Structure 1
Amino acid sequence: MTIPENDPITLSNNLLHSLLDQQIPLIQSFKGKWSLIKSKLADLQAQLTDFSEFQTSITNPLALDLLHSVSQTLNDALLLAEKCLDTNLTEGKLKTQSDIDSILAKLNQNVRDWSTESKNAAMDTVLSLIEEDDKNVLIAVAQGIVPVLARLLDCNSCFDIKEKSVAAISRISMVDSSKHVLIAEGLLLLNQLIRILESGSWFAKEKACVALQALSFSRENARAIGSRGGICSLLEICQAGTPSSQGLASGVLRNLAVFEEIRENFIEENAVFVLIGLAASGTALAQENAIGCLCNLVKEDENLKLLIVKEGVVECLRNFWDSCPPARSLEVAVELLRELASNQAIAEGLVSDGFVVRLVAVLSCGVLVAVEEKEAAAKSIVIACVACCGHLKKLMEMDVEGSKKLLDGLGRGKIWVFCQAVAWT
């Protein structure tokens, strides 16, 4: 029988059908050994069915080599089965028995190639390679690894393989030029990542959060995460997760809160209280992301601004500010201050809490000069200052430290101490 070069999966399935349904039931010689072969063929058939669901199963060179090996073994088994349909063995008992043992050994190897142990070993190799260099990530993606990883998360893989698969997806998500391939997997991948947030190990949850941070910049993906319980799971991690997982989960929430249409999901899950708690006691990264998330949530929502102030966000903001965070982290604090100060009632409290003095200190000490996005940061600070501008004259009359200097800077339309010649419009 000639084995065609194309479609090895269909060929192997046809050979399996012939062996299991037509030939083996009629065999007269070495029935015991053929019973063992039948059991191996059933295992191979199940593995082949799983493998056929991978989109790249007949295009990857390594996969093709494996499939051709399987089809060759099945073809040899079919030829041998035909010889055993009669008790009169033309090639003799010893030769036929040796051939049967050889087929059984080949089938054992084929089944082992598709086994959990082999998949585990392959995943170890993949992880080792992609952790080494971004170039290896690009090569793996070009070879079609992303659909394979998504499928491994979706199927009945063992715990170890799922953990390694989500770790690989996490690593791929960190390479900008590969993110579009993850996005292309759509709901299949998102659903599996959300499921990991619900029931995975803390290691797997952290890796899922890394991947979701890359995927949650898309409006469509944000909607999908919000509508599938992802926000609830992320908030649970923020409440009870490891310090590392809290920082990552709050980063995903910060991305999601940008999209106005899913902010209602945050309200339904009482996210404000969780985020304020995290801003008060989380790691530096978790605090920064929690403040950033709150900043995104309260945009153009005066009631929500009043709520977070009532729940203690000003104290959190003050403590975060005074903890001397890195310059880039301080920008998010300034952004939230700007949003809150746009509300007349809140602005008065911010002034009395000493935030004008803090702004002056930021502008005077040059803490943000090293930040690359100088112009964007300068504009944010200016807007925050302008929000308090209505109170500055009164403060100046009260001789509050720094108020005259800040008012003069705003009047000129520039903040020269922030960075040279950075104007705002």
Structure 2
Amino acid sequence: MLDVDDVVSVLVSFLHSLETDIQEGSAKVVLVIAGFDSYKVVSVGAGVIAPLIRVLECGSELGKQSAARCLMKLTQNSENAWSVSAHGGVTALLKICSGVDCKVELVGPACGVLRNLVGVEEIKRFMVEEGSILMFIRLARSKDEALQMMSIEFLESIAFGDELIREMVIREGGIRALVRVVDPKWSHSSKTRELVYFICNGEVSIQELALKVAFRLCGTSEEAKKAMGDAGFMPELVKLLNAKSFEVREMAGEALSGMVLVSRNRKRFVQDDRNIGMLL
């Protein structure tokens, strides 16, 4: 009777198959196995990463989707990052994300794998050198809502704690792309709430970037200000009036002054005496 190691070894060998059906079927089974922590080590030990990357490069569309989702599970918390990199996985994933004809079902998990890998400094630098910043800013301008958010999450991860990359994101048009994503004319209010999340919980550099987006968004339209008020921006902006950075305090104050020009925002604002006290 075959044990787990033997079964995984057989599946890995099937990933090398030239028969599309066999390759797709084994990729789907490996995807299920990769969801169990105890089997991840077994899968990686059996050499699953190299054939998964080969499927990404040469497989069918369905095979590529399963392979990318598999790699996303195998690289959580930057696990197995070097193995993916050593087999050319980073280049293959970047190629997928740069393709004009690729579907969200493939680009989405490919974005997820790359986001998992940015925790390794050398791999992050390689991605930057290969033009990933501009690539993901372009993806953030996509009409597909899922791709927009995955791209923003990647940009947040790659800029985390890195002032140079943060400035690169801004220079390459990242703020304009983010404004377009959260502007109610282009997307749903859930995106505005995502921006609130970054202001509340983001690392300092990401928080400042999100605040700049909010500041610019305030100047786009009355509808934008209403959406920001509905999403709960004002209490968070009030908190930032106590920030150490003068620039942060100034942007928060100007954003608030723009938002309270809208009647329903003004009513919300004055309902909390602490808001008035903070301004005074």
The bucket for the TM-score relative to the shorter chain is 0.7 to 0.9
Q: CA deviation at 1:409?
A: 5.4
- Over the aligned positions, Cα root-mean-square deviation in angstroms equals 3.9
Matches within 5 A, 1:228-377: 228-240=87-99, 241-281=102-142, 283-322=144-183, 323-324=187-188, 326=190, 330-331=193-194, 334-335=197-198, 338=202, 339-342=205-208, 351-354=215-218, 357=225, 359-363=228-232
Aligned-partner SS, 2:258? coil
Query: Any stretches of 5+ residues in structure 1 without a counterpart?
Result: 1-58, 61-140, 367-377, 413-425
Q: Percent identity?
A: 23
In structure 2, relative to structure 1, the CA distance for the partners of 1:162 and 1:336 (3 Å cut) is: farther
Q: Do 1:359 and 1:385's aligned partners in 2 also have CA atoms closer than 8 Å? A: no
Q: Residue 146 of structure 1 contacts residue 182 of structure 1 at CA under 8 Å; is this kept in 2?
A: no
Q: From the superposition, tell whether residues 250 and 330 of structure 1 become closer, same or farther in structure 2 (CA, over 3 Å).
A: farther
Pick from 15, 20, 24 the counterpart of residue 153 of structure 1.
15
1:293 Cα shift?
A: 0.6
Q: TM-score under structure 2 normalisation?
A: 0.73
Cα displacement (A) at 1:232: 1.7
Q: Distance in 2 between matches of 1:333 and 1:318?
A: 13
Cα displacement (A) at 1:395: 2.4
CA distance in 1, matches of 2:123, 2:251: 37
| Contact persistence 1:334–1:384 (CA under 8 A) | no
State whether residues 341 and 350 of structure 1, in contact with CA within 8 Å, keep that contact through their aligned partners in structure 2. Answer: no
Q: Quick check: 2:211–2:252 contact (8 Å CA) kept in 1?
A: no
Q: How much does 1:362 deviate?
A: 1.4
Q: Distance in 2 between matches of 1:333 and 1:298?
A: 18
One-letter amino acid matched to 2:42:
A
Change in Cα spacing, 1:308 to 1:242, as seen in structure 2 (3 Å) is: same
Q: Distance in 1 between matches of 2:118 and 2:276?
A: 31
Q: How many angstroms does 1:296 deviate by?
A: 0.6
- Cα distance in structure 1, aligned partners of 2:139 and 2:48: 28
Matching residue's letter, 2:57: E
1:50-101 superposed Cα distances (whole Å, 9 cap, x missing partner): xxxxxxxxx42xxxxxxxxxxxxxxxxxxxxxxxxxxxxxxxxxxxxxxxxx
Structure 2 unmatched ranges of 5 or more: none
Size of the alignment, in residue pairs?
A: 253
Larger Rg: 1
Q: Which residue of 2 aligns with 1:195?
A: 54
User: C-alpha offsets along residues 158-198 of structure 1, whole Å, 9 cap, x if unaligned?
Assistant: 3321121112112333x4xx243133322611111111111
Question: Does the aligned pair in 2 maintain the 1:234–1:249 contact within 8 Å?
Answer: yes
- TM superposition score normalised by structure 1: 0.50
Alpha-carbon distance in 1 for matches of 2:136, 2:160? 16
**1:348 positional shift:** 5.6
List per-residue Cα deviations over 1:15-65 (Å, max 9, x = no partner): xxxxxxxxxxxxxxxxxxxxxxxxxxxxxxxxxxxxxxxxxxxx42xxxxx
Distance in 2 (CA, whole Å) between partners of 1:186 and 1:336 is 38
C-alpha separation in 2, matches of 1:407 and 1:230? 55
From 60, 66, 82, the equivalent of 1:223 is 82
The equivalent residue for 1:168 is 29
Letter matched to residue 362 of structure 1 = A
Is the contact between residue 196 and residue 233 of structure 2 (CA under 8 Å) also seen in structure 1?
no
Q: CA deviation at 1:216?
A: 1.0
Determine which of 174, 182, 186 is the counterpart of 2:40. 182
Shift of 1:351: 1.9
CA shift in 2, pair 1:333/1:310, >3 Å:
farther
CA distance, structure 1, for counterparts of residue 142 and residue 83 of structure 2: 30
Aligned partner letter, 2:9: P
Contact 1:167/1:207 (<8 A) preserved: yes
CA apart distance, 1:273: 1.3
Residue type of the partner of 1:272? I
Aligned residues of 1:243 and 1:282 also touching (Cα < 8 A): no
Q: Look up the SS of the partner of 1:281 in the other structure.
A: coil
Displacement of 1:214? 0.6
- Establish whether residue 390 from structure 1 lines up as the match of residue 249 from structure 2: yes
1:37-116 correspondence runs (5 A): 59-60=1-2
- Is the 1:226–1:265 contact (alpha carbons within 8 Å) kept by the matching residues of 2? no
Going from structure 1 to structure 2, the CA distance change for 1:393 and 1:261 (only over 3 Å counts) comes to closer
Higher relative contact order structure (alpha carbons within 8 Å, sequence separation ≥ 6): 2
Q: Is the 8 A contact 1:196 1:204 kept in 2?
A: yes
Letter in 1 for 2:162: D
Show CA shifts across 1:74-130 (max 9, x none).
xxxxxxxxxxxxxxxxxxxxxxxxxxxxxxxxxxxxxxxxxxxxxxxxxxxxxxxxx
User: Which residue in 2 is equivalent to 1:213?
Assistant: 72
Equivalents in 2 of 1:384, 1:237: separation in Å? 43
Q: Match of 2:259, SS?
A: coil
Alpha-carbon distance between aligned partners in 1 of 2:70 and 2:177, rounded to the nearest angstrom: 29
